[in-house]
Amino acid sequence: MTTDRSKQPPLAGFRVIELARVLAGPWAGQMLADMGADVIKVENPEGGDDTRAWGPPFVEGADGENLSAAYYHSTNRGKRSIAVDFSKPEGQEIVRRLVRSADVVIENFKVGGLKKYGLDYESLKAVNPKLVYCSITGFGQTGPYATFAGYDYIVQGMSGFMSITGEADGQPMKAGVAIADIFTGIYAVAAIEAALIHALKFGQGQHVDMALLDVQAGVLANQNMNYLISGRAPNRMGNAHPNIAPYEVVPAADGHLILAVGNDGQFRRLCGIFGIESLADDERFASNKARVAHRAELRPIICAETVKWKKRDLLDACEGNAVPAGAINTIGEMFEDPQVKARGLRIDLEDRDGNRIPSVRSPIVLSETPLVYERPSPRVGEHTQEILEELQQWERKA
């Protein structure tokens, strides 16, 4: 880490104890680690985080060592790992000692699951009154479902998300990644940072109650409002947009691409590209409201034009005429995209044995307090001795 204080990452000096596993909690922990917090991941000595085994693929060291599944490495960068069995009194005491030196705890056990170990919010608040304690569960700390186990896939269904995702005549579809978990991790970071500001101002910690269902329901955004205003539940529309047209996937001579025509001027320019300028004056298509109402008539007209073009030629024509359009990349093509390369989204981190482990940097870019990427995801208990020695030093000074 740089010694220039003005260029230190924004959360340098804060300590986070992560009693979380799988995705939502570790995602929040990784974001805080990227921002410079000292994130100590507490893992069971017998195998550690469940996702270490969620492969293939697995990261393999130069000597053939299994360095855990790619899934685990997607969400544990930048942390230190301490191996502690807190089902035993001695392990519980180590966690309490860590909490005395910490600012934040993140946990994702079932409601009440840590109380029997004396590691719930009320118990740890007595140890550290300024503690920000973030609980992540499927359904929150209250309500009739509070004690139910929460899974991302199930929450995508319960929230209404899957009812608006997929083709109109096909099955409801989940997203390609665990978006309820990831969004919850991101919202948790915002909540933790707000609670830290309160703790700095008033010396008072608090309990942050994050629920996957709350988050996944909340991020339905305009679709929520479409229902609340109209009283009609939105339906699945495939790749079409409920409020804008044409805003969808269209065919080209050599594949598919995205048109994202967001206003009347863009639509007029699109018609110009195709040489059908009069279409923009047709009362069925002259405004976005009209185009949405007549989308079933509009789509065949547009697709009959787009299919005459190769993808790259049509994308270039759209770019040259300020009409929003985009390619549909594979993940491999995304990483080869010149914009992605220019932004440096892929990073490679070297572990203690010289193994280089690929990662994807945070999308957060700060000009004065840049984020830090100093270490890959840790091995189980890799930093146990180091952390315990630091803790002893802290306790002697406290």
Domain containing 33 — which CATH number?
A: 3.40.50.10540
Reported in sequence order, the residue ranges of the chain that DSSP labels E, i.e. its strands, are 15-19, 38-43, 58-60, 66-69, 80-83, 104-107, 132-137, 206-211, 247-252, 255-260, 325-327, 346-350, 356-360
- Dihedrals φ, ψ of 293, to 5°? -65, -30
Task: Please tell me what DSSP assigns to residue 106.
Answer: E
Task: Please tell me what DSSP assigns to residue 214.
Answer: H
For residue 229, tell me if it sits in a domain.
no
How many CB atoms sit inside 10 A of residue 46's CB?
8
Please determine, for residue 307, whether its predicted confidence score (pLDDT) is greater than 50.
yes
Rounded Cα distance between 77 and 375, Å, is 7
For residue 303, tell me if it sits in a domain.
yes
Claim to verify: residue 330 and residue 361 sit in the same structural domain:
no
Q: Using one digit for the tens of pLDDT, what is the confidence trace for 130-170?
A: 999 999 999 999 999 999 988 999 999 999 999 999 999 99
Please determine, for residue 69, whether its predicted confidence score (pLDDT) is greater than 50.
yes
Q: Give me 22's structure tokens.
A: 């799988």
6 sits in the region (left: phi over 0; alpha: psi -120 to 50; else beta) called alpha
Instruction: Determine contact, residues 10/369, Cβ cutoff 8 Å.
Output: yes
Q: Using one digit for the tens of pLDDT, what is the confidence trace for 74-128?
A: 999 999 999 999 999 999 999 999 999 999 999 999 999 999 999 999 999 999 9
Three-state DSSP state, 220: coil
Claim to verify: residue 324 and residue 209 sit in the same structural domain:
no
Claim to verify: residue 98 and residue 142 sit in the same structural domain:
yes
- Tell which residue, 385, 386, 378, has the closest CA to residue 81: 378
Q: Which secondary structure element, helix H or strand E, spans residue 118, and what is its range?
A: none
Claim to verify: residue 163 and residue 294 sit in the same structural domain:
no
What pLDDT is attached to residue 4?
55
Instruction: Determine contact, residues 110/149, Cβ cutoff 8 Å.
Output: yes
Claim to verify: residue 323 and residue 388 sit in the same structural domain:
no
Instruction: Determine contact, residues 297/279, Cβ cutoff 8 Å.
Output: no
Mean pLDDT of 308-319: 96
Which residue out of 38, 181, 209, 214 is catalytically annotated?
181
For residue 231, tell me if it sits in a domain.
no
What pLDDT is attached to residue 1?
35
Residue 299: give the domain boundaries: 247-336
309 sits in the region (left: phi over 0; alpha: psi -120 to 50; else beta) called beta
For residue 120, tell me if it sits in a domain.
yes
Please determine, for residue 3, whether its predicted confidence score (pLDDT) is greater than 60.
no
What pLDDT is attached to residue 62?
86
Instruction: Determine contact, residues 158/213, Cβ cutoff 8 Å.
Output: yes
Please determine, for residue 262, whether its predicted confidence score (pLDDT) is greater than 90.
yes
Q: Using one digit for the tens of pLDDT, what is the confidence trace for 9-67?
A: 999 999 999 999 999 999 999 999 999 999 999 999 999 999 999 999 999 998 888 99
Q: Using one digit for the tens of pLDDT, what is the confidence trace for 181-198?
A: 999 999 999 999 999 999
Rounded Cα distance between 76 and 39, Å, is 10
Claim to verify: residue 36 and residue 154 sit in the same structural domain:
yes
What pLDDT is attached to residue 2?
40
Rounded Cα distance between 320 and 310, Å, is 16
For residue 266, tell me if it sits in a domain.
yes
What pLDDT is attached to residue 63?
87
Confidence of residue 377 (pLDDT cuts 50, 70, 90): very high
Claim to verify: residue 79 and residue 185 sit in the same structural domain:
yes
For residue 344, tell me if it sits in a domain.
no
For residue 236, tell me if it sits in a domain.
no
Choosing from 294, 312, 336, the residue where a domain stops is: 336
Mean pLDDT of 279-288: 96
How many CB atoms sit inside 10 A of residue 106's CB?
29
For residue 20, tell me if it sits in a domain.
yes
Claim to verify: residue 172 and residue 310 sit in the same structural domain:
no
Rounded Cα distance between 334 and 57, Å, is 20
Please determine, for residue 300, whether its predicted confidence score (pLDDT) is greater than 80.
yes
Claim to verify: residue 195 and residue 294 sit in the same structural domain:
no
Q: Give me 348's structure tokens.
A: 């490679």
Number of domains the chain is built from: 2
Mean pLDDT of 206-230: 97
Choosing from 307, 336, 365, the residue where a domain stops is: 336
Instruction: Determine contact, residues 325/257, Cβ cutoff 8 Å.
Output: yes
Claim to verify: residue 93 and residue 152 sit in the same structural domain:
yes
Query: Which CATH number does the domain housing residue 304 bear?
Result: 3.30.1540.10
Claim to verify: residue 272 and residue 357 sit in the same structural domain:
no
Percent of the chain with pLDDT over 70: 98
Three-state DSSP state, 356: strand
User: Is 281 an annotated catalytic residue?
Assistant: no
Claim to verify: residue 193 and residue 120 sit in the same structural domain:
yes
Q: Which secondary structure element, helix H or strand E, spans residue 386, and what is its range?
A: helix 384-397
Instruction: Determine contact, residues 268/277, Cβ cutoff 8 Å.
Output: yes
Rounded Cα distance between 181 and 80, Å, is 22
Helix ranges (H only) for 240-345 are: 264-274, 288-293, 295-306, 311-320, 331-336, 338-342
Q: What is the pTM of this model?
A: 0.92
